Amino acid sequence: MFWNSINWILEKMKIIGAACLVGMTFLTCADVIGRFFLHPIFGSVEIVAFMATLSVAMALPYTHKIRGHVGVEILVRLLSDRTQAIIDICTGILSLCLFAIVTWRMTTYAHTMHKAGEVSMNLELPEYYIIYVASFCLLIFTLIILQDLMNNIKRLKGK
């Protein structure tokens, strides 16, 4: 039930990330056309930067889930299944620790930005919203890493 909820959130994040990517494309094209006619879109660079941040943060957990990250597996493929599982568990533990810390620090940073009242330069949009959303995405990413780690441990015990 818990993992089904996480997977549901993951699917929604994938859609939002794709929408941000499409939005970046349209906004950039509109801004370039506007600049050609000497009427650029005010704040377009900030909005595109926010959407870029969101698209990367939203795509990160899904990419891990489908094993879409670039990896050096040429040598690892030559090893036994048990050794591969052990390597996956070790990298999973390290990744879990790293991204748990990154999630915690990102949330702390968002809270600090919120308290400071930090806003973007041109449009004066509060930046902490984007940071909170990115930290939530990193939390989901950490949970996906945990799920993958648990599956690798089960795979190792099954052999």
Arithmetic mean of pLDDT over the chain: 94
**3-class state of residue 119 by DSSP:** strand
Domain ranges of the chain: 2-157
Q: Which of 64, 88, 83, 78 is nearest to 13 (CA)?
A: 64
Write the pLDDT tens digit of every residue in 92-125.
999 999 999 999 999 999 999 999 999 999 999 9
Percent of the chain with pLDDT over 90: 84
Burial letters for 1-23: b for 16+ Cβ neighbours within 10 Å, e otherwise? eeeeebbebbeebbebbeebbeb
The amino acid sitting at 102 is V
Q: With cut-offs at 50, 70 and 90, classify the pLDDT of residue 34.
A: very high
Angle, to 10 degrees, between the axis of helix 2-36 and the axis of helix 128-157?
140
The vertex-126 CA angle with 122 and 129, nearest 5°, equals 135
Write the pLDDT tens digit of every residue in 124-149.
999 999 999 999 999 999 999 999 99
Residue 78: per-residue pLDDT: 87
Percent of the chain with pLDDT over 70: 99
For residue 121 the two structure tokens come to 């330069």
In this predicted structure, the answer to whether residue 31 has a pLDDT above a threshold of 70 is: yes
In this predicted structure, the answer to whether residue 159 has a pLDDT above a threshold of 70 is: no
Q: Residue 125 CB: number of other CB atoms within 10 A?
A: 15
Residue 75: per-residue pLDDT: 82
Can you tell me which residue has the tokens 């909170």?
132
Residue 155: per-residue pLDDT: 87
In this predicted structure, the answer to whether residue 67 has a pLDDT above a threshold of 90 is: no
Can you tell me which residue has the tokens 């600049």?
35
Q: Which residues contact 149 (CB under 8 A, 6 or more apart)?
A: 89, 92, 93, 96
Q: Find out whether 135 and 106 touch, Cβ atoms under 8 Å.
A: yes
Write the pLDDT tens digit of every residue in 75-97.
888 888 889 889 999 999 999 99
Distance between CA atoms of 111 and 98, rounded to whole angstroms? Answer: 20
